[in-house]
Amino acid sequence: MNIDEKISVLEAILFASGEPVDSDRLQEAIEVDKGTLDKLMNLLNDRFKNCGSALYVYLLNNSYQLGTREEYAPYIKKAMETKNNSKLSQAAFEVLTIIAYNQPVTKGFVEHVRGVDSSSVVNSLVEKGLLEEAGRIDVPGRPIAFKTTANFLRCFKMKSLDELPKLPSQNGEMQVSLEELEDN
């Protein structure tokens, strides 16, 4: 299979899936290594860009997903009359923050940190596809743990949770490493 065929196969897989596809599965499907897969995805994005396509391949953690370019979002929303794109409440941002930085966690943990019942907020975020179940915790009652989703990363324009901003220390000061100072 030549490079153009491999790029087309990747496009077909991502289109057919509609969901993020793990890079290991893609590597296995077209028999390439991680570095080659990354280069092929860049070539696929170049192909989309050069022909004026609205499509784009997003890297989400260790997965790839076919989506649309951000500038087309208003038209898509208008045409699809998306109801899930309502603005998030302060409570929803608080819950997302707690879960993103501590995942996987239970509703009980979130409620302990916030000091208020958070069940409806967590359920709403699951409905919006920003949170998902991450199994059950091995404690009495076996509560469900939650984690963020690939949709969470996409909505907040992150490739991975490593891009979350650093939290301030107990006294409100930010911890900055020497490497971070040198990078800026």
Q: Please report whether residue 123 resides in a domain.
A: yes
Q: Region 80-108: what's the mean pLDDT?
A: 84
130 in any annotated domain: yes
| 123 Cβ contact partners less than 8 Å away, ≥ 6 residues apart | none
Residue that wins the pLDDT comparison between 13 and 170: 13
CATH number for 43? 1.10.10.10
- Region 105-110: mean pLDDT is 92
Confidence of residue 172 (pLDDT cuts 50, 70, 90): low
* Same domain (yes/no): 64, 119: no
Query: Angle CA(82)–CA(85)–CA(91) in degrees, nearest 5?
Result: 150
CB atoms within 10 A of CB 168: 10
Shared domain check, 52 and 12: yes
* 156 vs 85, residue with greater confidence: 156
Task: Kindly list the distances between the CA atom of residue 127 and the CA atoms of 73, 84, 141, 149, in Å, as whole numbers in the listed order.
Answer: 20, 8, 24, 12
Quote the domain boundaries for residue 156.
Answer: 90-163
> 111-120, pLDDT tens digit by residue?
999 999 988 8
Tell whether 48 and 107 lie within a shared domain. no
The whole-number pLDDT of residue 1 equals 86
In a domain, 79, yes or no: no
Domain-embedded: residue 47: yes
Per-residue pLDDT at 79: 80
For position 83, what pLDDT does the model report?
A: 53
45 with 105, same domain: the answer is: no
Indicate the number of domains in the chain.
2
Residue 176: pLDDT over 50: no
pTM comes to 0.55
100 plus 52 within the same structural domain: no
Q: Are residues 36 and 66 in the same domain?
A: yes
Q: Does residue 182 carry a pLDDT above 50?
A: no
Averaged over 77-94, what is the pLDDT? 76
Same domain, 100 and 56: no
Co-location of 60 and 109 in the same domain = no
